Amino acid sequence: MKSVRFVAAVLFLVFALSASPVFAKDTIKIGAILGVTGPASFLGAPEAKTLEMLVEEINKKGGIKGKKIELIVKDSGASPEKAISFAKQLIEEDKVFAIIGPSTSGETMKIKNIAEEGKTILMSCAAAEAIVNPVAKYVFKTPQKDSYAVVKIFEQMKSMKLTKAGVLSSNSGFGNAGKGQIEKLAAEHGIQIVANEVYDKAATDLTAEVTKVKASGAEAIINWSIEPAQSIVIKNARQIGFKGPIFQSHGFGNIEYVKAAGDAAEGVIFPAGRLLVIDSLPKSNPQKAVLAKYKKDYEAKFKEDVSTFGGHAYDSLMILVKAIEKVGTDKEKVRTEIEHMKGFVGTGGIFNFSPEDHNGLAMDSFEMLTVKSGKFIVLQSSAKKKDAGTKKK
Amino acid sequence: MPLRKHFQIAALVAAVIAVQLAVTLSGNSHHLTQLTMSAYYSLVIVGLCLLIGYAGQISLGHAGFFAIGGYISGFLTTYNLLPYKDKAIVSIFAKTGLLVGRQDLYGGQALTFHPWTAGLIAVLATFVTALVIGGPVLKLKGHYLAMATLGFGIIVYRIVLGTEKLGAADGISDIPGFTLLPGLQVSGAAGLRIQNYYIAWGLVILSVTLLVNLVHSRIGRALRSIHGAEDAAQAMGIDTAGYKLKIFVLSAVLASIGGVFLTHYNGGIGPSEASIMKSVRYVAIVAIGGMANLWGALIMGFVLNFLSLRGYFGTYDDAVFGVILIVIMLFAPEGLITRSVFSNIRRLFGKAAPEAEV
Amino acid sequence: MNTQLFFQYIVAGVTYGTIYAIVAIGFNIIYNATGIINFAQGEFVMLGGMIAASLSGFMPLPSAILAAVIITMIIGALIEMIFIRWLDRPSVLRLIIITIGISIIIREAALFIWGEGVKALPYFTGTSVTVISIGDVHLSPQVLWSTGISAIMVIGLNLFFNYTLPGRQMRACSSNRNAARLCGINTKNMVTLSFILSAGIGALGGCVVSPMTYVQYDSGTGLAIKGFTVAILGGLGNSMAAVAAGMLLGILESFSIWIMPTAYKDVISISILLGMLFIKPSGLFGSAEAARLKDF
C-alpha cells in the first residue's frame, strides 16, 4: 500500500540519518560556515582553503596540546537559511568548540543569537559593525572596521585637496555597509557626496552608472565593493574619461581584481591589510614574518595569489588556537582569554581585544596602497609624491 | 475513493508522530530543526504541485510569493514605530491592539506590529498580488508563461535586494517569535523544538488534507481536464480562466504562509529566499516527485530539503539537484513514486495489468 | 542632460545591448529549428569565454577563440545527442525543466573545472583604457568589435538560412516538421545542427564580450535571462529583431539609470518584458502566427 511504503521510506530515511557519527576521542572540533560556492565564493573559497591548510599544518605538529583539530566546513552558499541550519547543527549535534565564519554579514547577523544561546564562540569573517556592536559575549570578528577604511580614504582625499566624492557601491552586504559608513562620516570630515549609486554585483557593464557619477561633478570616485564587478567600474570610469583618483575599499584586496581591470587599475588607491605589500615592509614590522609565511604556504599549496579575505579566516583560527594553547579546552576560559588577548599579530593587523571591543583592530591595521604596473605597493605620502612629481591619472 | 484518501492522511499523521518519537528517543532531537524547516518548504511545494501538476501551469517564480510573505511579516514585526508614535495612524493602530510593545534584543524599547497582524497582512498582500498578476499571466502559455513567472520572481528578488528598509543584501534579522496561541510559539528557541515541529507539520497535514480533498472533488476533475485539453474543457463550459486563477492564488497563499512561519522560526530572512535558484528548486522537486503526484512531491520535498539543509551534498548541492532533475525528467517523467513505476515493477513479476489512473 | 551625456548613455546602452543580442540570437536558432527554448544558452556563452581564457595562456588569441568556439560546438552537439535526441514528443514543461537541469549541470561542472575565480580575455585591440573619443563621448574599441561581430553573425546566419542547403532544410523543419521529414530531410540531424550553431554563436559572443566584463562559472544564468527577455521582446525566432530589441533594451536600461536608483535597473527590464508579454507576446516585430508556440 502506498501509504505504508511512504511511512516505511520516511522512517528508514530518518533512522539512517540519525546514526551518530563515530566519535573520535580527544579532538577539538571546530566548525566553519563559509560561502565556498555561490555569490560570496571569492570570500568563502580562500577562507576554506586557508583553514584546511592551517589545520593540516597544526595537526602534523601534533595538534594543540596533543589534541588534533577536527575541522568541519559547511558550505552555506551565502544563504542565511542554510547558515542558520548549519549553525544549529554544528552547535547541537557536532558540539563544536567554536565556529569560524560566516563569510557574509547577512548570515552572521542571523546566527549571532544562535551562537549566544548555544554558548559557542563565533569568530566571524564578516565585516559589519553590527556584529560586534552591541557586543555579544561569544561573538567576535576579525575583519577591520569599515569606518576606519572610510576615514582613511577621506583623509587621503583631504590631503589631495579633494572634497567632492562620487560614491558607487555594490548591492551586497559589504557594499551596503560601506555606503552606510560613507554617508555617516562624510560631513564631519568635510567631504561632500555628490553622487551615490548602487550597482548590481553581477553587472556586465557599468558605463551608464559611471557616466552619471562623472556628470555630477565628482572630483574622486569611491568604489565600495568586494565582488569582481568593481573592476568593471574602474575600467568604465577610465574609458569615459574620468580623470580624478579612484578610491577602492579593502574589498579590492585580491590581485585578480587588478588583473581584471588591466591598465585601468593603475593609480587606484585603497586601504588594506599589509598582506598585499609584504615586500615593502621593513624587517622591523611585527607582521612581516607572519604574513610572509602565510603567503608562501598558501601560494605554494594552492597555486593562486593570496588575498586579504583568506587572511580573516587565518586570524580567526589562530586567535582560537593561541587562546586554547594558553588556557586549555574550557569554552568559558577560552572566551575570556580571547576577550583579554592583546598584541596578537595577525594578517589583518595587530589585535587588542577587550570586553567592549570584540574586533580588536585599530585604524593602523590599514595601510594605504596603490597599484603600480599591475602590482600592489604602499602609497607614498602625498608630500613625497609631490616631490617625486608622479602624475595622477 | 474517500476511504483510501483518509487512510493516506492518517498514515501521514502517523508517520509524522512516529518520526518525532524516533528522533527524540534516539537522542537526535536536533534533527527536528531541519525537519521543521523542510515542513515549511513543503508547503510551497505541495501548492506548486497542484498548480503545475494538476492545473498544468508552470511557475518559475514561486519563491517570490514565499519571500513576499516572509519579508512583509519580518519587516512589520521588526520595524520600530516608536519614533512615530505620535502620528495619527500609529496611534490608531496602537489603540486597536495591532501593535505590541516589546523589548528589542538590545534592551531598547520597540513598538512593532503584532506577529498575528503582520502575518495576516503578509498573506493578504500575497493574495492580492497573486490575484492581480494571475489574470494576465495565466493567459499565457508554455514558454511565455514560464518567462512571465520567472520575471515576477526576478522582480521580487530585485526589490528585496535593492531596498534598504528591507535590509538589502543582509536581509532582516532578529525577527521575534510568533505566539500563535498562549503557550504555542513559532520560534527557533531550543526548548520549543518539539512544539514547533508539530506546528509545522500540523500546517502541512492541514494543507495536504485540503489539497487532497480538492483533487478528488469536482474542482480537481475540472483542473485535470484543463491540464489535459484546455480548449475542450472550455467548450464543455468549465470556467478555465477562473479555475487556473483560483489555483494560482491558492498556491501563492500556501507559499506565503510557509514564508511567514519559516521567517519567524528562523528569526530572519534574506534575499536568497527569493532567488531564481530557489524557484527552480521548487519546480525541480515537484518534477522529481511526479508532476501530478501530491504525495510524491511531499516526500521528495521533505527528503531533498532535509538533506540539503543538513549539508549532506556539501558544495555540490546544486549539482545534485541538477543531476536528479535530469535523470528523472529523462527516464521517469511521471516521477519516482508513482503508480506507473510500481505497476511496471509488478508487471515485471508477471502480476495483474496496470491500475487505472484515479 | 546635454547632448554629449545623451550620446554617452546611448553608447553604454549599445554596449549592454550587443551582449544581450548575442545570447538572444542563440535562443532563436534553436527555437526556430525545434521549438525548444534552451535555458542552457547562457552557459554556452560562459563556456566560450572560460575555455578561450584558459587556452589563451598557451596559444595566440585568435586560435584560442577559434578553439573555444569549436569545443563549445562539440559540447552543444553532445548535449543534444545525450539529452534531447531520443525524447519522444516531450511536453513543453518537460523540455523547459530538462534544459534548466542541463544548465545547472554545466554550471556545476564549470565550477569543478575552473573554480570560483573570474577570467577575462585580453582586449582584442589595445587595453582596458584605450578609447575612441568623439568629442566628450568615449567608447572602448571592444564595443566596436562586439557590435561588428554581432552584425557579421546576423548577416552570416541570414546567408546560411537563405542560400545554403542545410540552412534551407532547417527552415523547412521549422515551418513544418512533418512535411520536411516527408521531403527526406533528416529532422533529427537538423536539431543537432541547430544546437551546434547556437553553441558556436554563444561561444563567440562570450569571447567577444569577456574582455569588457569577465566570465565566472555562474555568469551564464544572468545572461540567459537577459537574452531570453530580448528574444521575446523582439519576437521569438527573429534574429534581426533580437538585435534591435537588444539595443533598445540596453538603451532603455541605460537611460533608466538617469531617472531611477540604479539598484532597480533590472526591475525596469523585467517590467518591460512582462508588459510586452501581456500586451503583445509576439514581440515588437513578430507576427501573431510566429507567436503560436511550435511543437518539438
Mean pLDDT of chain C, nearest integer: 85
Residue B63, helix vs strand vs coil: helix
Q: Is B158 near chain C, with CB under 8 Å?
A: yes
pLDDT grade, residue B345 (50/70/90)?
low
Residue with cell 590581485: A255
- Residues of chain C with pLDDT > 70, as a percent, come to 96
Average pLDDT over residues B336-344: 54
pLDDT given at position A381? 67
pLDDT given at position C294? 56
Q: Which amino acid belongs to residue C235?
A: G
Nearest to A346 by CA among A115, A141, A161, A80: A141
Encode pLDDT of C61-103 as tens digits: 899 999 999 999 999 999 999 888 877 777 777 888 889 899 9
Residue A11 has pLDDT above 60, yes or no: no
Question: What subunits make at least 3 CB pairs under 8 angstroms with C?
Answer: A, B
Shortest CB distance from A240 goes to which of C1, C138, C257?
C138
C-alpha cell, B3:
476511504
pLDDT given at position C65? 93
**Nearest residue of B to residue C226 by CA position?**
B151
- Degrees to nearest 5, angle at CA A326 with A323 and A331: 55
Mean pLDDT of chain B, nearest integer: 82
**Cβ contacts of C229 on chain B, cutoff 8 Å:** 147, 151
CA distance C53 to C42: 17
- Residue B27: CB atoms within 10 A of its CB come to 9
How close A123 comes to chain C (CA, Å)?
Answer: 24
Indicate yes or no: CB of B276 within 8 angstroms of CB of C104.
no
Residue B99 has pLDDT above 80, yes or no: no
CB A47 within 8 A of CB A310: yes
**Nearest residue of C to residue B284 by CA position?**
C97
pTM: 0.88
pLDDT grade, residue A49 (50/70/90)?
very high
Indicate yes or no: CB of C129 within 8 angstroms of CB of A238.
yes
pLDDT given at position A55? 94
ipTM: 0.86
**Cβ contacts of A239 on chain C, cutoff 8 Å:** 128-129, 131, 138-140
Least confident of A123-132, B14-23, B134-143, B147-156: B14-23
**Cβ contacts of C278 on chain B, cutoff 8 Å:** 136-137, 139, 148
CB A371 within 8 A of CB A255: no
- Residues of chain A with pLDDT > 70, as a percent, come to 90
pLDDT grade, residue A310 (50/70/90)?
very high
User: Within chain C, what is the greatest distance between any pair of CA atoms?
Assistant: 61
Indicate yes or no: CB of A37 within 8 angstroms of CB of C111.
yes
pLDDT grade, residue B124 (50/70/90)?
very high
Least confident of A144-158, A171-185, A204-218, C80-94: C80-94
Choosing among B144, B149, B283, B304, which should be mutated to test the C contact, i.e. which has the most C CBs within 10 A? B144
Indicate yes or no: CB of B141 within 8 angstroms of CB of C107.
no
Q: Which amino acid belongs to residue B143?
A: H
Average pLDDT over residues A372-380: 88
**Nearest residue of C to residue B153 by CA position?**
C270
pLDDT given at position A13? 55
Choosing among B159, B160, B320, B329, which should be mutated to test the C contact, i.e. which has the most C CBs within 10 A? B329
CA distance B280 to C224: 14
B99 membership: H or E segment, kind and range:
strand B99-103
pLDDT given at position B349? 58
Which tops the pLDDT comparison, C138 or A195?
Answer: A195
CA distance A294 to A307: 10
- Degrees to nearest 5, angle at CA A321 with A317 and A326: 155
Choosing among C81, C97, C267, C279, which should be mutated to test the B contact, i.e. which has the most B CBs within 10 A? C97
Residues 72-101 of chain A whose Cβ lies under 8 A from any Cβ of chain B: 74-75, 77-82, 84-86, 88-89, 92-93
Encode pLDDT of A164-180 as tens digits: 999 999 988 888 889 99
pLDDT given at position B108? 66
DSSP per residue, B187-236: ---GGGHHHHHHHHHHHHHHHHHHHHHHHTSHHHHHHHHHHH-HHHHHHT
Average pLDDT over residues B324-329: 84
Indicate yes or no: CB of C90 within 8 angstroms of CB of B333.
yes
A25: which residues sit within 8 A by CB, 6+ positions away? none
Residue B168 has pLDDT above 60, yes or no: yes
Buried-exposed string C199-228: b where 16+ CB fall within 10 A, e elsewhere: bbbbbbbbbbbbbbbbbbbbbbbbbbbbbb
CA distance B259 to A205: 34
**Cβ contacts of A52 on chain B, cutoff 8 Å:** none
Residue A64, helix vs strand vs coil: strand
Residue C172 has pLDDT above 50, yes or no: yes
- Residue ranges of domains in chain A: 25-144+291-361, 148-272+367-388
Can you list the positions of beta strands (E) in chain C?
132-134, 137-139
DSSP per residue, B255-295: HHHHHHHHHHHHT-B-GGGGSHHHHHHHHHHHHHH-TT-HH
Half-sphere exposure of C6 (CA within 13 A, CB side): 3
Residue C8 burial by Cβ neighbours in a 10 Å radius (0-12, 13-18, 19+):
buried
CA distance B310 to B210: 30
What dihedral angle (degrees, nearest 10) is formed by the CA atoms of C94, C85, C174, C40? 60
Residue B149, helix vs strand vs coil: helix
In Å, how far from its chain's centre is CA A375? 21
Residue C254 has pLDDT above 80, yes or no: yes
Residue C116 has pLDDT above 70, yes or no: yes
Residue B295 has pLDDT above 70, yes or no: yes
Residue A387 has pLDDT above 50, yes or no: no
Q: Is B155 near chain A, with CB under 8 Å?
A: no
Indicate yes or no: CB of A171 within 8 angstroms of CB of B30.
no
Encode pLDDT of C3-41 as tens digits: 778 888 888 888 878 888 888 999 888 888 888 889 899
pLDDT grade, residue A142 (50/70/90)?
very high
pLDDT given at position C269? 80
Category of C15 on φ-ψ map: left (φ > 0), alpha (ψ -120 to 50) or beta: alpha
- Residue B348: CB atoms within 10 A of its CB come to 8
pLDDT given at position B347? 58
Between strands A164-170 and A220-224, the pairing is parallel
CATH of the domain spanning C3-291: 1.10.3470
Q: Which amino acid belongs to residue A135?
A: V
**Cβ contacts of C133 on chain A, cutoff 8 Å:** 241
pLDDT given at position A388? 40
pLDDT grade, residue B331 (50/70/90)?
confident
Residue with cell 542545410: C166
pLDDT given at position B338? 54
CATH 2.40.50.100 assigned to domain A25-144+291-361? The reply is: no
Residues 148-207 of chain A whose Cβ lies under 8 A from any Cβ of chain B: 171-173, 175-176, 198
pLDDT given at position B75? 92
pLDDT given at position B344? 54
pLDDT grade, residue A33 (50/70/90)?
very high
Residue B125 has pLDDT above 90, yes or no: yes
A44 membership: H or E segment, kind and range:
helix A41-60
Encode pLDDT of A230-275 as tens digits: 999 999 999 888 999 999 999 998 888 898 888 889 999 999 988 8
How close A38 comes to chain C (CA, Å)?
Answer: 8
CA distance C32 to C193: 12
Residue with cell 501509504: A3
C-alpha cell, B299:
516526500
Shortest CB distance from A232 goes to which of C138, C213, C266?
C213
- Residues of chain A with pLDDT > 90, as a percent, come to 51
Q: Is C92 near chain B, with CB under 8 Å?
A: yes
B112 membership: H or E segment, kind and range:
strand B109-113
Shortest CB distance from B155 goes to which of C101, C109, C271?
C271
The class (CATH top level) of A148-272+367-388 is: alpha beta
Indicate yes or no: CB of A211 within 8 angstroms of CB of C266.
no
Mean pLDDT of chain A, nearest integer: 86
C-alpha cell, A371:
597599484
Residue A384 has pLDDT above 60, yes or no: no
Indicate yes or no: CB of C127 within 8 angstroms of CB of A262.
yes
C-alpha cell, B35:
525537519
pLDDT given at position B353? 44
Indicate yes or no: CB of C265 within 8 angstroms of CB of A232.
no
Q: Is B98 near chain C, with CB under 8 Å?
A: no
Residue B91 has pLDDT above 80, yes or no: no
Shortest CB distance from B315 goes to which of A4, A18, A75?
A75
CA distance A317 to C137: 51
Q: Is B225 near chain A, with CB under 8 Å?
A: no
- Residue ranges of domains in chain C: 3-291
Encode pLDDT of A314-373 as tens digits: 999 999 999 999 998 888 999 999 999 999 999 989 999 999 999 999 888 899 999 999
Nearest to C104 by CA among C67, C72, C79, C70: C79
Residue A224 has pLDDT above 90, yes or no: yes
Can you list the positions of beta strands (E) in chain A?
27-34, 68-75, 98-100, 121-124, 139-141, 164-170, 192-199, 220-224, 246-248, 269-272, 342-345, 350-352, 367-372, 375-378
- Residue A357: CB atoms within 10 A of its CB come to 17
CA distance A254 to A311: 11
Shortest CB distance from B158 goes to which of C228, C267, C274?
C267
Shortest CB distance from C96 goes to which of B146, B319, B326?
B146
Indicate yes or no: CB of B151 within 8 angstroms of CB of C270.
yes
**Nearest residue of B to residue A105 by CA position?**
B170
Least confident of A170-174, A211-215, B86-90: B86-90
Average pLDDT over residues A58-63: 90
